Structure 1
């Protein structure tokens, strides 16, 4: 029986965590593979996380106490901690997910006395996120160095491969372009019921998204758009939560949008509420291959999205969409107005 260890940076529920959970739940014959899921410390006080999902599905899991999302002094202890765990469990393969786990996990495998295969799935290149120039250069350097110790690098879309080659992250022969394993979304609530459960008005147009509150999601740009569309019959809303919540609340207050821009918090199986939306908007400045887009497509919603990651490839044959440049608030506003 082969042993595979999945590692993701944080347990807070999002695209990378769903990818890991779906892969480990549906992607293997359990009679041939022994799967363990490992992760670091949460980025925020999330009530919906990978640990709980694994527990309910009887998937073995482990938490690394030193693995954290931000670059910090904990990174060296994290490398050592993962090294010791690899030596103890002796997996045949480790499958790293997200940038931080991808870097420290690669270094841990390199110095380990046990030598597993190292696979790395990129859920959007971290150096494309908003950050100081020195940090960006550091991430590029670390990705290049860590890639020397990886056997396979899986990118979610042709554009992500192009970025890897442009930044000289690794040789082309190490890269595999792959789509998400997508096993179908949550059954959708009927529109009236979805609006009722979310406590949203039945007689207004709802512009919404599902996203964690991280800088890469650029949700402040959606708040900026709401400030430019002065229509009391339109409600903007986000299902999600995260570290940027206080900043978003302050911006909403400054624009006096408290009645027209609603932060609904985390919802388990959030995609079941998509029928509450009349328009789905994802204003990110960095993505891989977001599940939220797959789910919005399944719900047959009109979609306004930015040209990041694999998103244009995902929507290539989807009829009811508008794609705009990232971080262009004027074009995002114009695109949304087309659907009002």
Structure 2
């Protein structure tokens, strides 16, 4: 036991410390060689990325999301001054456009001492299909021409979504209809009277079939498509059962171009009718060239004039913030080259 403590144990500790010392020396002086440099150094040049003019198909189908919205109430107005003589329907009744709503009694003539005034009656009719939500006048109330006498809550609906100003450029040639899909609802259906922008508030005039006037003309809501707002809507067919507030998806097909020359939209400055691209010259330098444009799907754009198949153009417009070196949007930064 004395030999173990005086001879063996000290030798074991010496061996352990020797191993530790050698390991530390290896770590300090025998590290793995550093990898060879990549040779990439900043040189201040903008990296160039080219793309080739190719043939392809452009499907300009715009998908938008929104809701089903009931058309706003319309007012039934007195089209002649006089006294409310009769209501043809009560509040809450369903009516069709042109149904009689109320009657105004008035007198005309009698300007001469020998003549008596003649009593006339004028029937005002429903301006739209719907339900009479209320009447604001009572029997024997005096009204002036244009006074609101009742309100019609419409039974018609529109599919309404939002559209960005840039997407409106894709709808320069405005289609007349769209396809609307409702999750859990009816089969996808065609929705007509496609409109962009805030629709005008056009109150149809109250009609009348009395002795004092002929049957008036009714003015429908405008059905343009050239508006500048951020709303897009179409009229839901009357035979499609929908409810106010349903979420929907609208697909607007603005045309398809098959077997046409295309380039990425990032390669063109200006994407409506005409634009500019930068063609790679024989010396490798980009040359500015005007081109005529067709339809776009948001990723590629049709080239109708100015380029040939196989030509090489810059993939990104010089100075554009969508090219390399930026975070999708921003200025070009210092490039790197080997």
Report the TM range for the smaller structure's normalisation: under 0.3
Q: TM-score normalised to the size of structure 2?
A: 0.25
- Greater relative contact order (Cα < 8 A, sep 6+): 2
Which has the larger Rg? 2
Q: TM-score normalised to the size of structure 1?
A: 0.25
Of Structure 1 and Structure 2, the greater helix share is in 1
